[in-house]
Structure 1
Amino acid sequence: MSHSWTGGHSTPVLCARVSSESEHVVATGAEGGDLTLWTHDGSPVSQLHLSADDDDVTCVAFSPSTPCMLYASHGRTVSALDTRNLKTAVSELTDVGEEEINALSVSESGALLAAADDSGAVRVVDLQLEKVIRTLRKHDNICSSVTFRPHRPQSLVSAGLDMQVMLWSLPKVRPLWTYSLQDTQEEDARPQRAGQMFNPPLAHCVDVASCGNVFACAAEDGFVHLLRVSEDSRLRERGMFKAHSQGASQAHFISFLSHPYWLATGGNDGLVALWDLSEDALVANERKRKSRKKKPKARAKAVSEVQHQKQQMSGEEAEAGSASCSSETCGKTVPKQSFNHGEKVNWVCPAVLKGKPSLIVTDQSSSPSVYSLDEL
C-alpha cells in the first residue's frame, strides 16, 4: 500500500533523489521547470522554478560529499543549488549538454559531474572550475543514463537508446568496452507469439551495485540486463531476467537492506518490483571473488604482490569460463515483492524515510508515491 505526497507540484513528476544526510531531504523535478524539496515525511518545504523557458527538470542529483549541494538539469543547463537556501541557484552551468540532458551523476568525492544528453554524448564537468573537461562521444543515439562507479572516481558507465552499455575511464576518450544488449537478446532467441510486437532492448537506465563491479540495465524489451566486470574492468559475465511485461524504465540498487544486491525496478506496465539478486549466478561469482581476495601482508615484497594479483586475475578468468550466467538461468528470477502502481513509472528512488526503508515512485501525476519495504 502506498501513500502520496501532495502540494509540491502541479505537473507530472519526472525524477526524484534523496540526500545522504541523517535527516533525509528529497528533491523532485517536474515538467515545466519546477523543483521541490520535501521533508522525509512528505511535506513540501521549498519550491523553485528553474527554467525561464519552462524546460522540464529531467534529473536531480545530490553531491555525496556535500549533501546540501543539489544539481538539477533542465534543457542543456545544470543548476547548482544549496538546499539550505533554495531561493535562487548558486550557479548555472550553461551548455553542459549539447542537446537536452537526460541524466546526471556526481562522483563520490563531489568533484565531478557527468551529464548524458540527447546527442549521445556524456560530458564531464569539473565542479570546482565549473567547466566541461571531457566529452565522451560514442553512443549513436540518445544517451539516456550515466553513473559513476563506486570506489572508482575515474570510471563511469553509460547506456543509451542505441542499445549499448559502455564502460569509460576518464583519462581516455574512448570506452574501455562497449556491450550491445542485442547480443544477449539474440542468444535468448525466444519465439514471439503471433501478433506480438518486437521490442528492441533500448537501454533506459543503468545502475551500479556498491561493489562497483555489477551493473544492471533496464531496457525497452522488459528485461533487466546484468553485467559483471573484473577488478581490471574487463567484462566477465552477462545475463538477463524478465522484469516487466512492457518496457523497463528504471533499475536501482538498494544499499540499505540486508545486502547490496537488492534491486528496485519500475516499468511502463505500471509495476514496481524488488529483486534479490544475491543468489543469481552472476552476482554469486562476484561475492565468491570478494571472499577469496586476501589482503597482502605488510612484510610482503612488491614481487609477491604482483604474483598475487596475477593469480587473482587468473582465478577470475577461470571463474567466468566455468560459471557464466546464461539467459535461461537468469530468466527464472522472480520478484521478492511487487506493487501494482497502475501508472507508467517515470522514476524509482530508494530511500530511508522516517527510519523505514522505502521506495519513492513518480509517474504522470503531480504527486510522488511512497511504498514501504518493511516486510523485507
Structure 2
Amino acid sequence: MAAKWDSGHASPVLSLAISKERVIASGAENGELAIWSEQGTPISKVHLKGDNDVTGLAFSPLSFSKVYVAHGETISVLDTRALGDPMEMFTINKEEINCISVNETDSLLAAADDSGTVKVLDLQSKKVCRTLQRHTNICSAVTFRPHRPQSLVSCGLDMQVMLWNVQKARPLWLTNLQHLAQDEEDLDLHQSPDQLFNPPLAHSLSISSCGNVFCCGAEDGKIRSFRITETRFEEEVCFKAHTQGVSQVSFIGQDPGQSLLLSGGNDGRVCVWNLKKETAQPQKQQKPHHPKKSASKGKGKQTAETSARVSSSLCIEHGEKVNWILGAELQGSKVVLVADPSNAISVYQLGEL
C-alpha cells in the first residue's frame, strides 16, 4: 500500500527530482512547484509566472539548494531554502521543454523540446553554447553521462536514440529503434500473429552511475539497454516490460553484480528490474559500422538470448498512468516516488531490494 503525499499540489504532478541532501522537488501543471522533506512534509510552494506546466526538474550537483525548473519554453533557477522569484531565468528554447539535465560539474544544462531540438546552456557565461538539431520529431528526453561532462544521450518520438559530444554539432552515433524492433520481431517466436504493433516511440532515458550503460523506454512496451564504447553504442538487452508504453525508466543504484532499474508505464504498473551483471558484459568485436548510425541485422538474436537474464524483482499495480518515477533512500528505507495524473505523490517501500 502506498503512502500519499497529497498536500503539495492542486494539479496533476508531472515531474520529480531529489538533491543529494534528500530534499525533494515536485512540479505540476499550471506552474506549481513544491519542495518536500524526506518525511513527506511540504516545506514550501510557489506558483511560477505564466502558468506553464512544470515538465522538468534538476538539482544542482554542487549547490544542493539550487534547483533548475523547466516550465513552458523557460528555465528558472530557484533557491529551495526560500522559494520566491527566480534567481535567474533563461528562455532558450522555441517550443515547450520536455526534459532538462545538468552535468555533474554544474557547468552545462541541456534542454530538450517539442521541436526536436536540444539546447545546451553554458551556466557560467549564461549563453547557449550548442544547438543540437537532428531529431525529426519531439525530443522527449536528454541526459548527461556521469564522469563525462561533455557527453549526453537523447531520444525522441522519431524513434531515434543519439549519443552527442557538446563540442560537436552532429551526433557521434545514432540508432533507430524501429530498425531494432523489426529485427526483434523477426526472431520473436512467441509473438501472437494478431498482436497490434506499437511503434517504438522513445519516451524516456536513464544512464547508470558508471556512465557506460543506459536504458530507453518506448511506446511498444519494451525497455532496451545499451552499452557505450567510446563514440558508439550497441544494444545489449531488450525485454517486454509493460503492456503499454514505457513512460519512465530510472536506475536506482548499482550493487556489485547487478543493476536495479525502475520502470513506469501507461498501463499503470511500476516495476523493478534486475539487470544482472552478465547482461552488461561488452559484446564481441563487431564489424565496423558507419560512425553516424547503427543498424545491424542479426542484432535481435543477441537481444533475444540475453533478455532471459532480466528478471522482475517487484511489480506494483499502481493503477494510474505514470508521469514520473524516482528511486530514493528516505529515512533509511529504499522507496520509489510515483507521480501520476492525480495531485498526490505515491510512495512505495522497496524493502531489501
* TM-score of the two chains, using structure 1 as the length reference: 0.86
| Number of equivalences | 340
Which residue matches 2:225? 226
Q: Check the 8 A contact 1:252/1:349 in 2, yes or no.
A: yes
- C-alpha change, 1:280 and 1:324, in structure 2 (3 Å) is farther
Q: How does 1:174-323 map to 2 (within 5 A)?
A: 174-189=170-185, 190=188, 193=192, 196-230=195-229, 232-255=230-253, 261-281=259-279, 283-285=280-282
Alignment deviations for residues 54-102 of structure 1 (CA, whole Å, 9 cap, x no partner): 11000111011211110010110000011111122111112x2120000
- Counterpart secondary structure, 1:172: coil
Q: CA deviation at 1:358?
A: 1.0
Aligned-residue CA RMSD (Å): 2.2
Q: Check the 8 A contact 1:70/1:82 in 2, yes or no.
A: yes
1:327 paired residue among 303, 309, 316? 303
Structure 1, unpaired ranges of 5+: 287-314
1:342 paired residue among 319, 323, 343? 319
Q: How does 1:27-106 map to 2 (within 5 A)?
A: 27-52=25-50, 54-94=51-91, 96-106=92-102
Partners of 2:210 and 2:352 lie apart in 1 by: 25
Amino acid at match of 1:326: Q
- C-alpha change, 1:258 and 1:279, in structure 2 (3 Å) is closer
Q: CA deviation at 1:194?
A: 5.9
- C-alpha change, 1:163 and 1:92, in structure 2 (3 Å) is same
Partners of 2:301 and 2:111 lie apart in 1 by: 31
Which residue matches 1:125? 121
Q: Which has the larger radius of gyration?
A: 1
Which residue matches 1:163? 159
Q: Which moved more, 1:272-281 or 1:187-196?
A: 187-196
Q: Check the 8 A contact 2:264/2:325 in 1, yes or no.
A: yes
- Counterpart secondary structure, 1:327: helix
Q: CA deviation at 1:265?
A: 0.4
Alignment deviations for residues 141-197 of structure 1 (CA, whole Å, 9 cap, x no partner): 000000000100110000000000000011100000110111221111147646543
Q: CA deviation at 1:346?
A: 0.4
- C-alpha change, 1:361 and 1:121, in structure 2 (3 Å) is same
Partners of 2:42 and 2:256 lie apart in 1 by: 30
Q: Which moved more, 1:163-172 or 1:330-339?
A: 330-339
Q: Check the 8 A contact 2:8/2:45 in 1, yes or no.
A: yes
Partners of 2:126 and 2:331 lie apart in 1 by: 35
* TM-score of the two chains, using structure 2 as the length reference: 0.91
Amino acid at match of 1:204: H
Q: Check the 8 A contact 2:224/2:235 in 1, yes or no.
A: no
Which residue matches 1:293? none
Structure 2, unpaired ranges of 5+: 288-295
Structure holding more strand per residue: 2
- C-alpha change, 1:358 and 1:268, in structure 2 (3 Å) is same
Q: CA deviation at 1:103?
A: 0.1
Q: Check the 8 A contact 1:269/1:343 in 2, yes or no.
A: yes
Structure holding more helix per residue: 1
- Counterpart secondary structure, 1:269: coil
- Sequence identity (%): 48
Q: CA deviation at 1:364?
A: 0.4
Partners of 1:132 and 1:158 lie apart in 2 by: 18
